[in-house]
Amino acid sequence: MSDLRELYQEVIFDHNRNPRNYGVLENANRKAEGFNPLCGDQLTVYMLVNDQGIIEKVTFEGQGCAISTASASIMTEELIGKTVQQAQEIFDNFHTVVTGGDCDVEIGKLQVLTGVKDYPTRVKCATLPWHTTNAAINQQDEPVTTE
Amino acid sequence: MNKAVQSVVNPSDFDVLAIRSDFPILDQQIHGKPLVYLDNAASSQKPVQVQQAMQDYYSHDHANVHRGVHSLSQRATDSFEAARGKVRAFLNAASEKEIIFVRSATEGLNLIAASYGRMVLKPADEVLITVLEHHSNIVPWQLICEQTGATLKSVDVNDAGELDMQQYKMMLTENTKIAAFNHVSNALGTINPVKEMVKLAHDAGVTTVIDGSQAAPHLAIDVQAIDCDFYVITGHKMFGPTGIGVVYGKQALLEAMPPYQGGGEMIKLVSLEKSTYAELPAKFEAGTPDIAGAIGLAAAIDYMNEIGIENIARHEHELLDYATARASEIKKLKIIGTAKNKASVLSFVIEGIHPHDLGTILDNEGVAVRTGHHCAQPLMKRFNVPATARASFAMYNTIEEVDALIAGIKKAIEMFE
Ligand SMILES: Cc1ncc(COP(=O)(O)O)c(C=O)c1O
């Protein structure tokens, strides 16, 4: 049970119960859908990016497990005010850590999600919101999937 | 509830512990807890008898089939054909010519769609399936409908997960050429009234294809009594190996159908201009088959026969009844699929807990269940859930294992509160 608590930290439950920045963003200028065919998880990320490439707002909406919901919620908090360039860097670092790479990389609040690295089947839950954001930034038309 | 416990603990002719000892994989710990394997609908475990049969074959008898004049080739051929005989008896087919070995149920359904479907379907024709189908009994029909211009239609279920028979009847129109449906639903456990469905289809001049993947491990199957035109099973869900499946087809239909794949084994004479095809069943078995797989499947059939399919069904029914009763005590739990006639599957959702999270928490308790859409996305949509958790029982499961499942669910609910 102890290692399960590594995965399901209190912060995760909190974000799962009360996801931040949840809902449709009416004035979004970037949007993408993400889908995990393995578990049926589905989410949409909305972004408002200004002319300087700064992310003014990010919201998400969809259905997912506690890990993906918390990951999306924490992600939105992290991204607001960052440039798209910085967003990319944060995702790269996060991806490195949760896929079992160099764990000394600084990832701030995202640290609470690193428990997934011991659950290979759940890594995709944590990264789906980020892949989706990536697609939104790059304005891909096709929905992204984790497969 | 107590009644169920008693009848399993005091079986007259069913010894679950003896059965368990034939499945060494069950005797292990997962995260420090005894493994409770409840993902049988995805794939069942294999008894030592099946493993031994395959091992013996490779240790003593292996060579290619139907080709050599030497002794090993003869032995391999004999074993392979004996396996066909076992499958024929298991399905009660009229002839071994009607038993075609394939790789899986998926390949079997693709064979039928590609060969029979392409032969008969014309634009304006219809293929009728149901919302209960596994993707492998949906997508092959979509593909063939796209290629032929035919239309794919689907019958709905009621809220219990039972087919709407009224609708089924109405949807068998003069345009319908093929009706394809499963015998038992993998996602909900619903047992369909296949005999009645075949009768209705035949009355409307419609050819029937039954996906029996989930029926084979739980029910006695008699294709002649059902009178279906095609019936498909898959070895790994019925205690046999992966990589082997079977298509049963009525001989007259199989005779009329073009080959599915071309290659060795399936020909009589080949010239560079034209080939003539082998007799049934070889016509549909191009290339070197999964000989060991067929032998393993035959051993699995022997194993089930020895225990008795009625005994297996009775035991599983007790497990399902007990699990259903215990699950119903949990307030936040909702069972998806409450058909009166059900086999061995408990599909459910829990308020406030995504099935994926539940799956991880149960795994931590040693309990293996399936979580997700169970390759039945249209059905998930019908019940308006993204996914479910599914516990599916086999002959080697016990009442204590159901208790472990229930305890795990309660733990998850506590964690998420
Ligand atoms: C009802 C049903 N049909 C078909 C299949 C496909 O079986 P296989 O993957 O062995 O081809 C399955 C297995 O998941 C099933 O449950």
Q: What is the CA B189 to chain-centroid distance, rounded?
A: 11
Q: Summarize pLDDT for B37-59 with one digit per residue, the tens.
A: 999 999 999 999 999 999 999 99
Mutation pick for ligand 1 pocket among B234, B239, B344 (CB with most ligand atoms within 8 Å):
B234
B9: pLDDT strictly greater than 90: no
Which residues of chain B are within 8 Å of residue A119 when distances are taken between CB atoms?
A: 360
Task: Read off the pLDDT band of B5 (50, 70, 90).
Answer: very low
State the CATH number of the domain containing residue B383. Answer: 3.90.1150.10
How close does chain B come to A67, measured CA to CA in Å? 8
Q: Summarize pLDDT for B73-116 with one digit per residue, the tens.
A: 999 999 999 999 999 999 999 999 999 999 999 999 999 999 99
Q: Which atom of ligand 1 is nearest to the CA of B105?
A: 11
pLDDT given at position A140:
64
Whether residue B331 sits in one domain with residue B269: no
State the CATH number of the domain containing residue B167. Answer: 3.40.640.10
pLDDT given at position A41:
81
| Structural domain boundaries, residue A21 | 2-145
Complex ipTM? 0.86
Whether residue B289 sits in one domain with residue B216: yes
Q: Give me the number of domains chain A comprises.
A: 1
State the CATH number of the domain containing residue A68. Answer: 3.90.1010.10
Whether residue B320 sits in one domain with residue B284: no
- SS3 letters across chain B: CHHHHHHHHCCCCCCHHHHHHCCHHHCCEECCEECEECECCCCCCCCHHHHHHHHHHHHHHCCCCCCCCCHHHHHHHHHHHHHHHHHHHHHCCCCHHHEEEECCHHHHHHHHHHHHHHHHCCCCCEEEEECCCCHHHCHHHHHHHHHHCCEEEEECECCCCCECHHHHHHHCCCCEEEEEEECECCCCCEECCHHHHHHHHHHCCCEEEEECCCCCCCCCCCHHHHCCCEEEEEHHHCCCCCCCEEEEECHHHHHHCCCCCCCCCCEEEECCCCEEECCCCHHHCCCCCCHHHHHHHHHHHHHHHHHCHHHHHHHHHHHHHHHHHHHHCCCCEEECCCCCCECCEEEEEECCECHHHHHHHHHHCCEECEEECCCCHHHHHHCCCCCEEEEECCCCCCHHHHHHHHHHHHHHHHHHC
| Structural domain boundaries, residue B347 | 3-43+308-416
pLDDT given at position A147:
63
Whether residue B394 sits in one domain with residue B348: yes
Contact A7 B360 (CB under 8 A): yes
For chain B, say whether A118 makes contact (Cβ under 8 Å). Answer: no
Task: Read off the pLDDT band of B373 (50, 70, 90).
Answer: confident
Q: Which amino acid is at B293?
A: G
Which protein residues touch ligand 1 with a CB less than 6 Å away? B 104-106, 134, 136-137, 182, 186, 211, 213-214, 234, 236, 375
How close does chain B come to A38, measured CA to CA in Å? 7
Q: Which amino acid is at B82?
A: A
Percentage of residues in chain B with pLDDT exceeding 70?
Answer: 97
How close does chain A come to B33, measured CA to CA in Å? 11
Beta bridge partners of B353: B350
Find the chain B residues whose C-beta atoms sit closer than 8 A to any C-beta of A.
353-357, 360-361, 364, 371-373, 377, 380, 386-387, 415-416
- Summarize the confidence of residues B11-25 as an average pLDDT: 89
Which residues of chain B are within 8 Å of residue A64 when distances are taken between CB atoms?
A: 354
Contact B354 A119 (CB under 8 A): no
Which residues of chain A are within 8 Å of residue B386 when distances are taken between CB atoms?
A: 39-42, 63
pLDDT given at position B274:
85
Q: Which atom of ligand 1 is nearest to the CA of B374?
A: 14
Q: Give me the number of domains chain B comprises.
A: 2
Check if the beta carbon of residue B4 is closer than 8 Å to that of residue B399: yes
pLDDT given at position B309:
95
Whether residue B361 sits in one domain with residue B283: no
Report yes or no on whether pTM surpasses 0.80. yes
Percentage of residues in chain B with pLDDT exceeding 90?
Answer: 89
Q: Which atom of ligand 1 is nearest to the CA of B184?
A: 1
pLDDT given at position A142:
62
Q: Summarize pLDDT for B175-225 with one digit per residue, the tens.
A: 999 999 999 999 999 999 999 999 999 999 999 999 999 999 999 999 999
Whether residue B178 sits in one domain with residue B36: no
Whether residue B166 sits in one domain with residue B38: no
Contact B372 A7 (CB under 8 A): no
